[in-house]
Amino acid sequence: MKRWIGLAALVLIVGISFSGQEIVNIGPQKAFEMVKEPSTFLIDVRSVAEYVLIGHPVMALNIPLSFWSETEATFVPNENFVQDLKARFKAEDTILFICRSGGRSLRAAQAAREAGFAKVFSLSEGFEGAADDKGYRTIGGWKNSGLAYTFKSDPQLAYKPKTGK
C-alpha cells in the first residue's frame, strides 16, 4: 500500500510539473538570434491584414490565430490553427510566436504546447510593443527595436491554409 501511495504521489508530481509548464516569454532581440538556428521558426499570429498592412518581421510566417469577420465586425478564431501548425512543423521544432503586443502570441504558444509542440516561446513585446503616454505603440516590440521588418508579402511566408478545408 505504501509503495502504491508513493508511486501515485510521484505520478501526480510529474504530471503537475509537465502540465503546469510555463510558456517562456522572450524579447525581440533574443527571438532574432534564435531564428538563426536550424529548425527554429517565427510565426506571426496576427490577422492577414495586420501582417500585410502594419508590417512583419522579414522571416515571419503568417498563421493567424484569428481572422477579422466583416459580417460579425470582430475577430473570429482560426479553427484550423493547430492543424495549420501541424501541417508545417514537427513537434521537435522550436517555434516562436509573435503578435501585436504579446497577448495572442501567448495564447498561440499555449495552444501549440497543448498540441504537442515542446519548444514554444512567446514574444512578450510583440511586433509593435507597448503604447506610450499618447497611445502610440513606441515602447519595445520588434519594430521599435530596429530589427528588420517589411510590408511585402512573400508567397512562401504568407498564410495559406494547409488543412484542405
Phi, psi of 38 (to 5 degrees): -60, 150
Neighbours of 137 (CB within 10 A): 19
| 139: enclosing H helix or E strand | strand 137-139
Domain boundaries in the chain? Answer: 22-150
Query: In 40-74, which positions are buried (b, 16+ CB within 10 angstroms) versus exposed (e)?
Result: bbbbbbbbeebbbebbbbebbbbbbbbeeeeeeee
Cell numbers found for residue 137: 505603440
The pairing of strands 94-98 and 149-150 is unpaired
Name the DSSP class of 65.
Answer: S
65-119 per-position pLDDT tens digit: 999 999 999 999 999 999 999 999 999 999 999 999 999 999 999 999 999 999 9
Give residue 16's pLDDT band: very low, low, confident or very high (50, 70, 90): very low
C-alpha of 59 from chain center: 14
Average pLDDT in the 14-26 region? 65
Give residue 163's pLDDT band: very low, low, confident or very high (50, 70, 90): low
Does the domain at residues 22-150 carry the CATH identifier 3.90.1720.10? no
